Structure 1
Amino acid sequence: MWADLQTRYGDRVEFVQVDRDSKEGRKFAEDHGIHYQPGFVVVDTSGKTTYAGLGPFDARGVTDLVRKAAGE
């Protein structure tokens, strides 16, 4: 699923995996209200968080969130 989304939307959406065990990853999770795993955050091109939530996520739900962030 992630590879397909990257191929389709990679020119408009940046995909980043965050390691919550690292200092930077903990800060990112804290800043976005992610306290459990898996978490999923969508940030639009202006830097605004458009979605932050906990998983698990199905492919259709994730695709819909990515499409929205890509401006579709």
Structure 2
Amino acid sequence: MAQYITMIPADEGNEELRQWRVNAWHDRLAPDDDAYPGDPLQRERNYPIAVLSERGKKLLGLEKW
């Protein structure tokens, strides 16, 4: 079993993408594109919203660097 984690700082100049990231975190939506298969069984919604550290908030885009 393996788990791959991608951490890319939010692009503060791209408000639309930043807002999508924040909404996906808040609403527990999995990415759904060629690189990520999404969450077809909606398992993520069974868990509470993740608590973020200060760095996590910056990576997500909730707070500026």
Question: Does TM, normalized by the shorter one, top 0.5?
Answer: no
| Higher normalized strand content (fraction of residues) | 1
- TM normalised by structure 2 equals 0.31
